Chains A and B, each alone.
Chain A
Amino acid sequence: MQKRLPLILVLVTGIFGAVAFFIPHHTVQSVDETFRNDVQRIIAAFSLVLGLGSILQHHLTKIQRKAENWQYSWITVITLFVSGIIGLFGGIDPTRPGILPTHIGGFSFHIQTLYMNMMVPLAATMFSMLAFFMASAAYRAFRARNFSATLLLAAAFVLMLGAVPLGRMIFHPLPSFAEWILAVPNTAAKRGINFGVQLGILATSLKILLGIERGWLGGG
C-alpha cells in the first residue's frame, strides 16, 4: 500500500489534469479549478515547510558536528531568520512600514533596502564573473580544429560582430545576416531538437503516470 497509494494518486490526478484541458463541462472545470487554485497551493505551502525544515536540519547538523566550513552555516541560519522576520513584520520600505521598527535614525533596514543592497549586488557579482571565464575559455578552447569547429567559429564571429555597432560599420548587411542565422538555420535546428525533447518528455511523463518509471518514489 505504501507504494500503491502514491501510484494510484499520480495516475488519477495526472490523467484528470490532462483530460480537463479537453472537456469544457462545468463540473470537470470546477474540479480542475479547485485542484489548481486550492490543492496545488496547499501542496506548495507544504513544500515551503519541507524546504525550511531541510535547510535548517542540514545547517544545524553541520554546526553541531563542526563540519568543514561550519561557520558559514551560522550566516545562512541567521540571515534566514533575520530576513524572514523583517520580510514578515518590517514592511516593504520607509513609505510602507510594518509593525516592527526597522530603522535607526536615518538608517533603514526594510526588506527592500536589504534586497537592493545585499541581494542584488551579491547576485550580480556572481553572474558578472561569467564574462571573465567566458573570455578565458574562448581564448583557450575556441579553435578551428576541424570543419564543424570552423563553422561554429564563423557563426560566432558573425553573431558577435552583428551585435556591435562596428559590425554594421565593417559590412552594412552584417547585423541582418546575424539575424538571418538566428531566424533560419538556428530555428530549423532548434525545432528538430525541440520535437525530440518534447517526445521524450511525453514518453517519460506517460511512464511516470502508468507507474513504469518509479524512481520518484525513492529507493533508487
Chain B
Amino acid sequence: MEFWKKLQAIDRRWVYLVIWLVVMIPLIFPFKIKPVASPPVQSLFTYIDTLPENKGVIISVDYTPDSQAELQPMLVALLRHAFVIHRPVGVLAMALQGLGIGEDALRQVTAEINSHARTSADSVLNGRDYVYWGWTTPPITVMLGMGQRITKVFPVDYYGQKTESLPVMKRMKNYDDAGILVSVAASSFPLYWINLAQTQFGIHLGAGITAVSAADFYPYVNSGQFSGMLAGMKGAAEYEELLEQSMVKRGMDWKLRRKGTEAMSSQAAAHLAIIAFIIIGNIAFFATRRRKS
C-alpha cells in the first residue's frame, strides 16, 4: 500500500530527470529510423514534385523560434525540394519573429545547393530563382493583396531590393503563378490562408504544423482544402525520407543532414517514456483503489 502511494506521489524532479535523459541520450547517440510516409505527407510531396514547370512554390514562415525544433526541418525540406525541382520560390513571414528563421533556412539551403552546383543554371540565386519578401502587416492585406499583385504588397524584399526589378518576380506575379502555397505554422495561420487566399483566388495550399495541433487540421486535409500536410517532427522526417529517395533517383546522392529524422529517435524515446509513466501511474492508481475498497 505504502509503496503504491509513494509511487503516485513521486517527486516530479525524478520525472524531469528521466525525460531529460531519454531526450538527451538519443540526441547524442541516435538510433536508426526509417520513416514511412503517411498519406497527408505523401500527397503533399507528390503534389509539389509534379508541379507544372511554369508554377512556383510559395512558403509562408508562420511560426516563431519556440517551435523551431519541430518546424524548421519542414521548412528546410520544402525549400530543398522546390530548388531541386527548379521551381521559382517565394518566401514570406507572417509571424514577425519568423523573419530570422526564414533567412536562416534560405541561407542554409542555398549554400547546400550551390556547393553541389556545377553550372550557373544548377545554382540558386537570390532574385533569379528565389525571393525573400519578408514581413508586412496586416495579414489580411498580404493574403488578399498577393492574389492581385505581389509587388504591390511587397514593393521591396527583405534585403531592400525593389521587387519589380527582380527577374524571379516576372514568374511570380500573383497566386496564378504559384502552384502551391505552404504555410509552416504553429498557429491557426493555415486556416486564414484557406479563408482569404484559397476561397478568393483558388490557390492550392499545403500545411506544415506542430504535432499538437494536427487534430485541428485534419478536417481540411479530408476536404481537399489542403493538398497535403506535414504534422510535427514525424511529418518532417517522412518528408525528408521521400525527398532523399527522390534526390537519389535524380542522381543527387548528397547525403544532406536530416534534422527531422535525427530528432525522431529522441522524440520516439520520449513518447515511450511518457507511455511508461502513464502505465506505471495507472497501475499505482488501481492498486491503491483496490486496497482502499
Could you pull out 23 A-B pairs where Cβ atoms are within 8 angstroms? A37-B152, A44-B138, A111-B100, A112-B100, A116-B100, A119-B65, A124-B66, A131-B23, A132-B15, A136-B16, A138-B281, A139-B10, A140-B12, A143-B282, A163-B271, A165-B34, A166-B268, A166-B272, A175-B38, A179-B39, A186-B215, A190-B215, A190-B219
Q: What is the size category of the interface that chain B forms with chain A?
A: 35 or more
Q: A190 contacts B68, CB within 8 Å?
A: no
Not counting A33-B145, A142-B278, A160-B271, a sample of 11 additional A-B residue pairs whose C-beta atoms are within 8 angstroms of each other reads A36-B141, A40-B141, A92-B103, A92-B159, A116-B100, A120-B101, A135-B273, A136-B15, A139-B10, A168-B36, A190-B216
Question: Is B114 positioned at the interface, with any CB of A under 8 Å from its CB?
Answer: no
Complex CA gap A119/B285 in Å reads 42
Complex CA gap A160/B272 in Å reads 8
Q: With contacts A41-B137, A124-B66, A165-B33 known, is A112 near B103, CB below 8 A?
A: yes
Question: Is B140 positioned at the interface, with any CB of A under 8 Å from its CB?
Answer: yes
Q: Could you say which residues of chain B place their CB within 8 Å of the CB of A144?
A: 282, 285-286
Question: Is A191 positioned at the interface, with any CB of B under 8 Å from its CB?
Answer: yes
Chain B residue nearest to A122 (CB atoms) is B65
Q: Mark B207-232, 1 if CB is under 8 A from A, else 0.
A: 00001001110110110000000001
Q: A136 contacts B12, CB within 8 Å?
A: yes
Q: Mark B136-166, 1 if CB is under 8 A from A, else 0.
A: 1110110011001000110000110000000
Q: Could you say which residues of chain B place their CB within 8 Å of the CB of A21?
A: 200
Complex CA gap A63/B217 in Å reads 45
Complex CA gap A125/B285 in Å reads 33
Q: Could you say which residues of chain A place their CB within 8 Å of the CB of B15?
A: 132, 135-136, 139
Question: Is A71 positioned at the interface, with any CB of B under 8 Å from its CB?
Answer: no
Q: B218 contacts A135, CB within 8 Å?
A: no
Q: B145 contacts A37, CB within 8 Å?
A: yes
Chain A residue nearest to B268 (CB atoms) is A164
> Which of A126, A128, A135, A153 has a CB less than 8 Å from the CB of B274?
A135
